[in-house]
Amino acid sequence: MNVRLTRAGLSAAAFFALAAPAFAADAPISAADTAFMIAATALVLLMTIPGLALFYCGMVRRKNVLATMAQSVAATAVVSLLWFALAYSLAFGGDGALIGGFGRALLADVGVDTVSPFAQTIPEMLFAVYQMTFAVITCALVGGAVADRLKFSAFLLFCALWLFVVYAPIAHWVWGGGFLARLGMIDFAGGTVVHVNAGVAGLVAAVVVGARQGYGRENLAPFDLAFAVIGVGLLWVGWFGFNGGSALQAGSRAVFAVVATHLSACAGSLTWSALEWARRGKPSVLGLISGAVAGLGAITPASGFVLPWQGFVIGVLAGGVCYWACTTLKQRLGYDDTLDVFGVHGVGGALGTLLAGVFATASVSAAAGQAGVSGLLEGRPSQLVAQAIGVAATAVWCAVGTWATLKIVDAVVGLRVNPDQEREGLDLALHGESIGL
Amino acid sequence: MKLVIAIIKPFKLDDVRAALEAVGVHGMTVAEVKGFGRQRGHTEIYRGAEYLVNFLPKTRIEIAVADARVEAVVEAILSAARTGAIGDGKIFVTPLERAVRVRTGETDDDAL
């Protein structure tokens, strides 16, 4: 989502208003766009179930594998329902500077022919469910930072509250016509809304909940990285829907987004791997997949605004910077962000959002009659400033909102399992199940 | 009777089994275990976290042997399991008080 589509939407609305009194009912729904966006929706949902579930569960310890997967499944269920109940309306239904309204609560006025101003050529219902998949994965991502020690009840309640306190407002600011969109900030598919958000929330959670027992002393090695590789495969391919689908239309822009995305993933993977090979002597599989995810997260905000070669550059930078963040920075600051949600998504998303302001190339985002967005390299440093404001606003509100949400959750159900449960393992302690010997 | 317990490198199991068969041993119990002696572990690195893994995978074989055959059994295991590198394992010979075949109730030497 970006400002250009909003402006295009408003001018299209004005045109149709002249032609006929009711604009929503007359907007032409494109079969091609709709088909593409249904597929994109499915791809993004696949990223959470089972993509993220597999990626995450492979990296935790054996005794917590099921509990980790449960978080992805539960987040899907809880966030989806609350999204349609109210969060969609708050994010995309209304034109306040800070938050939407209640006009679309419980899908009121979203009928068979309704169209959102943010996606004129597809049914609004489809736009709503597509955006839902973004909310779902963002909430699911946060759990990774506090893996192996968060109560299931706490996770459920956290998702339910955080969706409204942090995600919906920020989605509104960036994509729903809120103040960041009006500032001209660009974020094609969620560098801030999804990645900075999840990353900062993860970091705050890791600090508030505290480190795992034995962190820094005991062997906390991953259960089975083969699962993680499979998970990243699903994420990588699913990202074609995440970034490609953010074009909201089946056309060249979606293709450019997909190609930039893919190149960034490749570049990120090899860069992280090369650094690790040089520094540690062996290129790990975990490094190959982590670098890919870093590249994917970083290209997310820039994907529909940059040329493929710029996607490659963003991937290289993300691979390097995120590798540093997950090793040196994390060790230096001493926090236990278990699955590196901040190091990969937070840092990667912030980096990519800023780089979008550097590389934005007008020809990529130009549409019929409307000039595209130019960044620093095309002589518009103001774009970089808007990006920085966007990252800062997201990070600050996310940090404050996450902290407050965690405090509430702690007061209601308690955040962390007790030491015996943590030692026994969450699968047995919280779910009464195990994956066997 | 004696219970011979051998800790060997896992890849040597088949050689040891064949050598024992050659000296007339037709039954054994095998378990996958972890352990270390003089052989050092290895380091695994996951992103920023480094873990020293002290325990190495080994295979434990238990054989109940009649006194007369103990020397032959120990010798068979030694020659089959030895590689000459650190970590080859150990053999323990412990006294065995009683043995019973579950199917028939035969005891001691008749159960071996």
pLDDT of residue A27: 55
Q: What is the pLDDT of residues A135-154, one digit of tens each?
A: 999 999 999 999 999 999 99
CATH number at residue B45: 3.30.70.120
pLDDT at A269 > cutoff 70: yes
pLDDT of residue A196: 98
pLDDT at A25 > cutoff 70: no
Q: What is the pLDDT of residues A79-126, one digit of tens each?
A: 999 999 999 999 999 889 999 999 999 999 999 999 999 999 999 999
Residues of B in contact with A331 (CB under 8 A): 48
From the list B47, B48, B51, the residue facing A219 with the nearest CB is B51
The answer to whether A61 faces chain B, any CB pair under 8 Å, is no
Interface test with A, best of B32, B34, B47 (most A CBs within 10 A): B47
Rounded CA-CA distance A259/A249 in Å is 16
> What is the dihedral angle through the alpha carbons of A50, A55, A58, A62, rounded to the nearest 10 degrees?
-60
Q: Which of A31-40, A350-359, B36-45 has the lowest mean pLDDT?
A: B36-45
Q: What's the whole-number mean pLDDT along residues A27-53?
A: 96
More confident residue, A64 or A28: A64
The answer to whether A338 faces chain B, any CB pair under 8 Å, is no
Residues of B in contact with A280 (CB under 8 A): 45
CB contact set of A142 (below 8 Å; sequence gap of 6+): A158, A162, A198, A201, A202, A205, A341, A402
pLDDT of residue A414: 98
What ranges do the domains of chain A cover?
Answer: 32-431
Question: Structure tokens of A149?
Answer: 């020690």
Mean pLDDT for chain A overall: 94
Q: Give the pLDDT band (50/70/90) at residue A343.
A: very high
Angle at which helix A308-324 crosses helix A252-280, to 10 degrees, equals: 40
Tell me if A330 and B44 make a contact (CB, 8 A cut-off): no
CA angle A35, A41, A45 (to 5 degrees): 150
Q: What's the whole-number mean pLDDT along residues A258-275?
A: 98
Which residues form the domain of B81? Answer: 2-111
Helix (H, G, I), strand (E, B) or coil at A360: coil
Regions in chain B scoring below 50 on pLDDT: none
ipTM score for this prediction:
0.77
Kindly report the CATH class assigned to A32-431. mainly alpha
What total of structural domains would you count in chain B?
1
pLDDT of residue A14: 47
From the list A220, A280, A287, the residue facing B49 with the nearest CB is A220
pLDDT of residue A122: 98
pLDDT of residue B38: 87
pLDDT at A166 > cutoff 80: yes
pLDDT of residue B3: 97
